[in-house]
Amino acid sequence: MKRFQIHILAFISMFFWGMSYVWSKIVFEVYSPLTTIYFRLLISFVVLFLFAYFTGQIESIRKEDRWLLWGSAFLNPFLYFIGENFGLSLVSASLSAIIVSTIPIFAPFAAYFYFKERLRPINVAGLIIAFAGLLYIIVNKNFSLNANPLGILLLFLAVFSAVFYVVFLKKLSLKYSPITIITWQNMIGSLFFLPFFLYLDGRRFLSVHPDIMTVVSLFMLGIFASSLAYVLFAYVVKYLGVIKSSLYTNLIPVFTVIFSFYMLGEQLSVKKIVGLIVVICGVILSETGSPEWSNKSKT
């Protein structure tokens, strides 16, 4: 595959992940975050399983590795999507994407703790700069928060769940293909969410009559954000490597901010744009010195 084509695939996958925040906001107008998560994972599992089965890429997980798979699925998608989707329901789509885009900054710290990989000063510098950008966006002049505090905490639950998830992913990726890992993780994740969905949202789901925009957005989340984007990104990582591929994820909040403005009517303030630029610079600076294994989690 030509290098130009790989860059196009990376751009497309980032577009879908950026749009996932917009699609989620649309679905939240009708369904709860819990219902949205469950059906997003279920749709994704079906799509990925069929793709992997017909292309001969599905693999069975060996008995000794099943605890890794279940542990990774508990972190992501279970805890990650709880933090991301419930946080997104309380905070704007653009700010949510900006907070979640800090995931690669914290990954080197997990690498140092679990694998004793060297933590470079540039990682710390990137972390400080990115946090400065976040604080500039979410803190007012009187030091009050410019966003729902619970929403911010939930989004950081997603961030740290994704960071610890990378530890499990590193071990699994040494033995299995990305498509295999993501397919089974999404299946297990949907099983984790099933009892909560049935108990809390089951009756309400049956009584709701969604419009076409809601249905389309939900399928967009399952097919494009949780399935196709990961397949495309797997090829990008294969040809460009983890660090160069990860740099593309800085486009996610850019897409989210732009389309949140046009599709959701969110305010596109100078403060938000400046803060976004600072966060992206911090992430790029941090990833410049990140260990090679530090990959992105799910959007």
pLDDT digits (tens, 9 = 90+) for 267-280: 878 888 888 888 88
Q: Whole-angstrom Cα distance, residue 89 to residue 28?
A: 7
User: Which of 172, 282, 292 minimizes the C-alpha distance to 240?
Assistant: 292
Neighbour tally for 203: CB within 10 Å: 10
The single-letter code of the amino acid at 211 is: D
Question: Minimum mean pLDDT among 69-73, 89-93, 162-166, 206-210: which range?
Answer: 162-166
pLDDT of 290 strictly over 60:
no
| More confident of the two residues 290 and 230 | 230
Residue entry with tokens 């007012």? 140
In whole numbers, what is the pLDDT of the chain averaged over residues? 84
Q: What is the H or E stretch that residue 183 is in?
A: helix 178-196
List CB contacts of 237: < 8 A, sequence separation 6 or more.
178, 245, 295
> Tens digit of pLDDT for each residue in 158-216?
989 988 887 787 788 888 888 898 899 999 999 999 999 999 999 999 999 999 999 99
Angle separating helix axes 252-259 and 93-100, nearest 10 degrees: 180
The pLDDT assigned to 62 comes to 95
Confidence of residue 291 (pLDDT cuts 50, 70, 90): very low
> Tens digit of pLDDT for each residue in 17-60?
999 999 999 999 999 999 999 999 999 999 999 989 998 988 99
The pLDDT assigned to 278 comes to 86
Q: Whole-angstrom Cα distance, residue 72 to residue 181?
A: 9
For the segment 91-102, the average pLDDT, to the nearest whole number, is 86
Question: Minimum mean pLDDT among 47-61, 82-96, 119-133, 218-232: which range?
Answer: 119-133
